[in-house]
């Protein structure tokens, strides 16, 4: 349980909110699926920390990530034409390239060229890695991009989707630090993978709803180590690595060639986030690499919902119709009544808490210990930054490739 002011401090990210500033000044931020930007294709609006930006891929494949408004008179550049290595504003035809430089200002006479050369809009550094476009919104210069364990896998070894979620970013993060919900909320999914006789160790989460947690903090954030005793004396160990504050790397399902599960939260504004959910394989291809492909081994994950990689966990309906919960399906044995897919179950439970969960009214149980530590870590990070320190440790970590999640049976010696 938190006080109201603690809850505000760690959730609010718009404007000058300290947590928003902390994220902006200390994290590369996931912006959109890399493949959603096509050379000379439509620019897209990306909203981060309550501010709108425009992202596009120019004729040569370069990414532009700019303030949304045209530097002339603020018409949205999301409406612009994207051609000949620049955005052309539809209002007066000003052209702005991927570096933010105005390269043509046809409304100015004489010497339009000399005039244009003096005008630029802010362009932000970006990196494409692991299927995502990441942006640096903090002060110059941008620090090195801290690569994640799957960033050097091939396109076919990484499968990643996006889902817009109508609630605060921290609800998305906290769901990934609680494996205790897997056996209840996702029971139907676990039954599906077991029915395919491809159950990995994840099946063992089903019978043991209340794991014991160990938590270890490190310069990256924390590791949530869920321990479940097995009848033969061994322990099923499942460790999620939380790369504070936006990235969670969760164990996968090796029987389905999944070595890790990716949950990355993009902080849109106080009441919205985008969840990038995906899988990676260290070995065989997960899929054929096409945009709309669902790998055969991952079919149980997808459930009944038509596959939409830009809205993977989406759903129709809202609070008034219980987000489309299917009571007849529940009566017939589906535990949650959300038959779409696993992520849909996660997202609906998070959204149902409200736009910003009221953490002053909770009754946390022992399975919530990783969440408790994560909140403490964020509160401490705010204090550290206010005192002029780095948020999570005394040294900045520029490489996260060794942070693989752990999924194993520990047998007593």
Closer residue to Fe ion, CB minimum distance, 94 or 169: 169
Sole window of 5-13, 141-149, 255-263, 338-346 interacting with Fe ion (rule: CB under 5 A): 338-346
178 binds Fe ion (CB under 5 A): no
346 binds Fe ion (CB under 5 A): yes
State the nearest-atom distance from the C-beta of 187 to Fe ion, in Å. 11
Sole window of 13-21, 246-254, 345-353, 373-381 interacting with Fe ion (rule: CB under 5 A): 345-353
State the nearest-atom distance from the C-beta of 115 to Fe ion, in Å. 55
**Site string (111-150) toward Fe ion, x via CB under 5 A:** ----------------------------------------
Q: Which residue is nearest to Fe ion (CB)?
A: 346
Sole window of 15-23, 78-86, 326-334, 339-347 interacting with Fe ion (rule: CB under 5 A): 339-347
Closer residue to Fe ion, CB minimum distance, 56 or 159: 159
Closer residue to Fe ion, CB minimum distance, 36 or 171: 171
Judge if the upstream peptide bond of residue 141 is cis by omega within 30 degrees of 0.
yes
b/e burial code for range 182-191 (CB count within 10 A of at least 16 → b): bbebbbbbbb
Closer residue to Fe ion, CB minimum distance, 130 or 313: 313
State the nearest-atom distance from the C-beta of 35 to Fe ion, in Å. 25
Sole window of 114-122, 340-348, 359-367, 392-400 interacting with Fe ion (rule: CB under 5 A): 340-348
Sole window of 230-238, 250-258, 322-330, 346-354 interacting with Fe ion (rule: CB under 5 A): 346-354
Closer residue to Fe ion, CB minimum distance, 346 or 407: 346
Closer residue to Fe ion, CB minimum distance, 83 or 207: 207
Task: List interacting residues with Fe ion (CB under 5 A).
Answer: 346
């Amino acid at each position: 349980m938190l006080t109201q002011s603690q809850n505000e401090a760690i959730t609010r990210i718009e404007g000058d909110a300290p947590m928003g500033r902390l994220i902006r000044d200390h994290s590369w931020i996931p912006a959109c699926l890399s493949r959603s930007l096509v050379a000379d294709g439509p620019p897209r609006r990306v909203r981060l920390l309550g501010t709108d930006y425009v992202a596009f891929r120019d004729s040569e494949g370069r990414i532009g990530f700019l303030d949304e408004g045209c530097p002339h008179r603020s018409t949205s550049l999301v409406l612009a034409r994207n051609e000949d290595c620049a955005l052309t504003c539809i209002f007066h035809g000003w052209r702005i390239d991927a570096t933010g430089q105005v390269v043509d200002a046809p409304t100015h006479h004489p010497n339009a060229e000399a005039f244009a050369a003096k005008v630029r809009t802010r362009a932000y550094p970006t990196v494409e890695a692991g299927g995502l476009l990441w942006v640096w919104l903090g002060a110059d210069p941008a620090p090195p991009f801290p690569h994640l364990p799957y960033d050097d896998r091939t396109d076919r070894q990484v499968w990643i989707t996006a889902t817009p979620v109508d609630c605060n970013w921290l609800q998305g993060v906290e769901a990934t630090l609680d494996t205790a919900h897997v056996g209840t909320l996702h029971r139907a999914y676990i039954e599906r993978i077991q029915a395919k006789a491809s159950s990995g160790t994840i099946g063992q989460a089903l019978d043991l709803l209340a794991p014991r947690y160990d938590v270890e903090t490190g310069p990256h954030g924390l590791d949530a180590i869920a321990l479940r005793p097995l009848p033969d004396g061994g322990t099923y160990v499942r460790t999620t690595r939380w790369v504070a504050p936006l990235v969670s790397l969760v164990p996968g399902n090796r029987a389905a060639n999944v070595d890790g599960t990716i949950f990355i939260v993009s902080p849109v504004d106080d009441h919205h986030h985008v969840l990038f959910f995906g899988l990676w394989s260290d070995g065989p291809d997960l899929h054929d690499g096409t945009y709309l492909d669902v790998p055969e081994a991952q079919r149980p994950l997808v459930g009944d919902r038509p596959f939409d990689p830009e809205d993977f966990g989406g759903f129709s309906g809202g609070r008034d119709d219980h987000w489309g919960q299917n009571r007849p399906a529940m009566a017939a044995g589906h535990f949650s009544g959300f038959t779409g897919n696993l992520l849909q179950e996660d997202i609906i439970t998070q959204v149902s808490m409200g736009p910003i969960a009221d953490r002053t009214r909770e009754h946390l149980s022992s399975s919530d210990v990783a969440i408790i530590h994560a909140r403490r870590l964020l509160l401490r990070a705010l204090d550290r930054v206010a005192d002029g320190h780095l948020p999570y440790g005394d040294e900045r970590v520029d490489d996260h490739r060794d942070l693989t999640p752990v999924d194993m049976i520990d047998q007593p010696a």
